[in-house]
Structure 1
Amino acid sequence: MSPLPTTIPALIRTRVRAAVRRPARLTPEEAESRTLLLRLCSLLLQYPDAELAACRAVLTASIETLPPSPAAEHLADFTTWFADQEPEALERHYVEMFDLRRKSSLYLTYYLHGDTRRRGMALLTLNQRYKAAGWDIDGGELPDHLPVVLEFAALAGPGGGEAPLRQHRRGLELIHHALADADSPYRHVLAALLTLLPPPTEADRAAVAQLVAEGPPNEEVGLDPYGTYGEGEFAPPSTFVPPMAAPPTRVPATNPTTSRMEGTR
């Protein structure tokens, strides 16, 4: 977005900026489609365990029913690959992309705050947002794990529900960049998600370029009250070790449109 003239009163400039970045009012059909897109992205970015692998045909069929859109096309490209892989190969690829690579971790506050004290506060703030909306993740995952953030967005709607995605847009861009560099099919899922967000600003692009070059900020501290990395150890400088996940929390579902949150592992 181009800078607004300084002659425009500050209040008007603020409201114009907010209107530009706020999702447009959706029809009921568009809202339903958007909710399904977000929920599908959440499911496809979870660890591909036996249960998720068994649902691949259902996921593919659900994507085929979506109205034509860039997001639907990206998800269709992903499921073409996803449906054709052996379960063990899917698991190996997921671990390589999201557990072993520092710049494609799915923990969003890491990209904004790195291993600093501010990250712990960001996690608390995000968890409080969920609770204020009447949603409790029951400790199954950290609140900044992308599948969790996507499920909240699907449940709470384009306004406040998608606010964490907009806040962490730069981290999402970095994840997409890293997956594209690795030629991972998961890049299609991130590309689908990014089409649902406001276009990046020049400041966003500059910040992502800096993240690519330098990585997130670093500081040898823990993330209390969310714990440290491993057995009481802090993450060493310039490295990223994904936080230890709690046992998976599962809610039975019959199709992707039913709310279902499960841990990645």
Structure 2
Amino acid sequence: MTVTDRHRATAWQVQSVLLSYPDELLLERVPLLRAATGTLPASLAGPLATFLGHVTATPLAGLAADYVATFDHRKRFSPYLTYFAYGDTRKRGMALLRFKHAYRAAGLRLDDSELPDHLAVVLEFAAAGNAETGVRLLTEHRAGLELMRLGLHETGSPWAAVLDSVSATLPPLNGRDHDAVARLAAEGPPEEEVGLAPFAPPEYMPDPEGARR
């Protein structure tokens, strides 16, 4: 089955829900998420179906604890896309503003409690009729996404399947992408540049330890 724009929008919406903090609402949505997944091509649906099976087989408390241990306590799995490119440096604030400007241009204003580069937020934005801009934001941070995906597989995390599905909605990795992933894996995100004034107001500087809930 050919992947269409409608397939990608549906997949992004499902992925967004599955990459948010798991709660009772997630369990209530499982039948709807399964139905939506069933409309997708195998490359997008297979990984999502695998993860939904894990959700139904795992007590909610265990699922939530695993989410926190994975995304809150391990920076290598940060769901905030700008972290991989900018680390905790001041330049990251400017990168966050680029996300906010992209959302505002599309008529979307986030709650102040939401950081605009959270993967679940970006996927939800892309699903809501903003595919072109959403793909641009995702591909600009493709190296970080791929490093996260590979790391989740390496540790046996069930969320690796969701990242597989995200990757399947994007253009194939090229040589430059592979080089960027290798470089990021070897060097890690940049460290703070001492002595530079902030590039953005402090409110746009994120707490990398927290994940979207």
Tell me, yes or no, whether TM beats 0.5. yes
Instruction: Measure the CA separation in 2 of the matches of 1:56 and 1:135.
Output: 27
Instruction: Measure the CA separation in 2 of the matches of 1:182 and 1:126.
Output: 30
Shift of 1:229: 6.5
Q: SS of the residue aligned with 2:108?
A: coil
- Give the structure 1 partner of residue 105 of structure 2: 132
Q: SS of the residue aligned with 1:160?
A: helix
Name the aligned partner's letter for residue 14 of structure 2.
L
Name the aligned partner's letter for residue 87 of structure 1.
L
Name the aligned partner's letter for residue 219 of structure 1.
E
Instruction: Measure the CA separation in 1 of the matches of 2:60 and 2:175.
Output: 40
Instruction: Measure the CA separation in 2 of the matches of 1:75 and 1:98.
Output: 18
Instruction: Measure the CA separation in 2 of the matches of 1:95 and 1:215.
Output: 22
- Give the structure 1 partner of residue 33 of structure 2: 59
Instruction: List per-residue Cα deviations over 1:168-188 (Å, max 9, x = no partner).
Output: 111110110111111011001
* Segment of structure 1 superposing worse, 108-117 or 55-64: 55-64
Asked if the contact 2:93/2:205 (under 8 Å) is kept, the reply is no
Q: 1:107 aligns with which of 58, 80, 87?
A: 80
* Segment of structure 1 superposing worse, 42-51 or 201-210: 201-210
Asked if the contact 1:115/1:220 (under 8 Å) is kept, the reply is no
- Give the structure 2 partner of residue 45 of structure 1: 19
Instruction: Measure the CA separation in 1 of the matches of 2:144 and 2:135.
Output: 15
Q: SS of the residue aligned with 1:218?
A: coil
Does residue 226 of the first structure (1) align with residue 199 of the second (2)?
no
Does residue 182 of the first structure (1) align with residue 155 of the second (2)?
yes
Instruction: Measure the CA separation in 2 of the matches of 1:144 and 1:69.
Output: 28
Q: SS of the residue aligned with 1:54?
A: helix
Q: SS of the residue aligned with 1:205?
A: helix
Asked if the contact 2:16/2:123 (under 8 Å) is kept, the reply is yes
Name the aligned partner's letter for residue 117 of structure 1.
R
* Segment of structure 1 superposing worse, 217-226 or 104-113: 217-226
**Cα–Cα, structure 1 residues 72 and 224, in superposed 2: closer, same or farther, change >3 Å?**
same
CA-atom RMSD in angstroms: 2.1
Q: SS of the residue aligned with 2:21?
A: coil
Asked if the contact 1:35/1:157 (under 8 Å) is kept, the reply is no
Higher-Rg structure is 1
Shift of 1:76: 1.0
Number of matched pairs: 208
Instruction: Measure the CA separation in 1 of the matches of 2:171 and 2:65.
Output: 33
Instruction: Measure the CA separation in 1 of the matches of 2:151 and 2:134.
Output: 26
Instruction: Measure the CA separation in 2 of the matches of 1:106 and 1:134.
Output: 24
Instruction: Measure the CA separation in 2 of the matches of 1:209 and 1:40.
Output: 29
Shift of 1:69: 2.6
Instruction: List per-residue Cα deviations over 1:116-150 (Å, max 9, x = no partner).
Output: 12110000111011001101112231000001110
- Give the structure 2 partner of residue 153 of structure 1: 126
Shift of 1:242: 2.0
Identity %: 42
- Give the structure 2 partner of residue 242 of structure 1: 209
Shift of 1:220: 6.2
